[in-house]
Amino acid sequence: MEQWQNMIRESVHSVDQLVEKFNIDRKDAEDLDEFFQARINPYYLSLIRYPGDPIWLQCIPDKVELEDFDAQDDPLMEEAMSPVPNITHRYPDRALFLVTSQCGIYCRFCTRKRKVGDYEKISMKGLETAFQYLEQHTEIRDVILSGGDPLMLTDTMLEKILIRLREIKHIEIIRLGTRMPVILPHRITDKLCNMIKKYHPVYVNTHFNHPWEVTLQSSKACEMLANAGVPVGNQMVIMKGVNDDPAVVKELMQMLLKIRVRPYYMYMADETKGANHFRTSIETGLKIAEALRGHTSGLAVPHFVIDAPGGGGKIPLLPNYVLHKDEEKIILRNFQNKVYSYQNYADKNNPDGYKFNQKKKPKATKKKANKKKVPVRVYEEV
């Protein structure tokens, strides 16, 4: 048995442990176990600094989960968009492929609480029909292995899946969605990396939510993947008490770049039964997005999205930088709230725009330029 598998075995899991270690009322612990089991491996547990801290909130069951009565359990309509078991096909050219129900931790905010951890709801019996679906649908060029956490599979099992996918000619890229580098970095071994790199291009998207998750171990895991030629991205969810603070998110994004992880998505939390206590306002999300763009490396700025309820997919949100736009110009503000005008040229999509070599500038712009002195941007030498 590998070290990481032992660590899964040593996880805090039972009702008795929840009562003893975290002072949870026994009845609540039983109900919580029934609703969405706990699994806190010794590594992630060791990151907790005090009760209720950002690490604790992500992994320790809380009775507020049970107080969330009439919320949806499948907000993204993944079931309705599942043509065969284990596949969600929402976008034209890519598909989500659930390969296991198991995770190295059960995150209290998980949006798939309804099925994650349940062998019957994400069953290995569905793998064959899923492969057949992927074979038949030649429009699918991008397959995302998810679950559960695909790195809960053994190397051998994962390799079987990768071999089978690589036999399908129209599948160009394979992605792994895994929290293992964050919550159990011991899973990222040389053996695993050497196996994965035989099936390139393979991308990994992981899920850091807080700077304290960036440790020596998780840094090493991400660097090992990067060294194996795997581009590693990060998907973060904005959560109350965890990272609903621009300074925390900026620090996390900068730390991720240092360990060669590229911030990819930043999500508003999904409406999910038992996880709504984590949700924040859209204003908070926009504030965080605004605190990144321009204020730090563009590489540190993820796409800020809402995964639309009802299965609409990821929809980008931007703070409002456009103050005005017409055929002739667009008026923008920058990250420091300075205002700039940009000439809108004519082409097939904008026949009335400013024309190349046009003698006279359009009236509006000219008038404005005469009236008010537009500040000239000086580029200082550095």
Ligand X SMILES: *Cc1c(COP(=O)(O)O)cnc(C)c1O
Residue of 91, 199, 321, 340 marked catalytic: 91
Q: CB under 6 A: which stretch of 28-36, 83-91, 211-219, 282-290 binds ligand X?
A: 83-91
Give the type of residue at 83: P
> Residue 380: beta bridge partners?
none
Scan for tokens 């000239």, then name that residue.
376
Instruction: Name the residue nearer to ligand X (CB basis): 65 or 270.
Output: 270
Residue ranges of the alpha helices (H) in 168-263? 180-183, 190-196, 216-227, 246-258
Task: Provide the mask over 303-322, with x wherever binding to ligand X is found by CB under 6 A and - wherever it is not.
Answer: -----------x--------
Q: How many helices (H) and strands (E) does the chain have?
A: 13, 12
Question: And the tokens for 63?
Answer: 């009775």
Taking the C-alpha atoms of residue 199 and residue 201, their distance in angstroms, rounded to an integer, is: 6
Instruction: Name the residue nearer to ligand X (CB basis): 40 or 107.
Output: 107
Instruction: Name the residue nearer to ligand SF4 (CB basis): 101 or 219.
Output: 101
Shortest Cβ 208–ligand SF4 spacing (Å): 12
- The single-letter DSSP state of residue 353 is S
Question: Are the C-beta atoms of residues 115 and 103 closer than 8 Å to each other?
Answer: no
Shortest Cβ 89–ligand X spacing (Å): 7
If one asks whether residue 60 binds ligand SF4 (CB under 6 A), the answer comes out as no
Instruction: Name the residue nearer to ligand X (CB basis): 90 or 207.
Output: 90
For 5, counting Cβ atoms within 10 Å of its Cβ (0-12 exposed, 13-18 middle, 19+ buried), the class is: middle
Instruction: Name the residue nearer to ligand X (CB basis): 79 or 167.
Output: 79
Taking the C-alpha atoms of residue 241 and residue 106, their distance in angstroms, rounded to an integer, is: 18
Q: CB under 6 A: which stretch of 49-57, 93-101, 109-117, 161-169 binds ligand SF4?
A: 109-117
Residue of 149, 270, 279, 329 marked catalytic: 270
Q: CB under 6 A: which stretch of 21-29, 110-118, 120-128, 314-322 binds ligand SF4?
A: 110-118
Question: Are the C-beta atoms of residues 40 and 66 closer than 8 Å to each other?
Answer: no
If one asks whether residue 112 binds ligand SF4 (CB under 6 A), the answer comes out as yes
> Residue 241: beta bridge partners?
none
Shortest Cβ 101–ligand X spacing (Å): 17
Number of residues that bind ligand X (CB under 6 A): 7
Give the type of residue at 380: E
Question: And the tokens for 119?
Answer: 């062998």
Question: And the tokens for 279?
Answer: 């949700």
**Distant-in-sequence, close-in-space partners of 376: CB < 8 Å, separation ≥ 6:** none
From the list 71, 91, 87, 67, the residue with the least C-alpha distance to 79 is 87
Taking the C-alpha atoms of residue 42 and residue 30, their distance in angstroms, rounded to an integer, is: 22
From the list 345, 341, 344, 343, the residue with the least C-alpha distance to 376 is 341
Shortest Cβ 91–ligand X spacing (Å): 5
**Which position among 43, 44, 97, 106 is part of the footprint of ligand SF4 (CB under 6 A)?**
106
Question: And the tokens for 134?
Answer: 């992927």
Residue of 44, 108, 110, 179 marked catalytic: 110
Task: Provide the mask over 136-175, with x wherever binding to ligand SF4 is found by CB under 6 A and - wherever it is not.
Answer: ------------xx--------------------------
If one asks whether residue 179 binds ligand SF4 (CB under 6 A), the answer comes out as yes
Contact positions toward ligand X, by CB under 6 A? 88, 90-91, 94, 96, 144, 314
Residue positions annotated with a catalytic role: 90-91, 94, 103, 107, 110, 112, 270, 307, 314
Contact positions toward ligand SF4, by CB under 6 A? 103, 105-107, 110, 112, 116, 148-149, 179
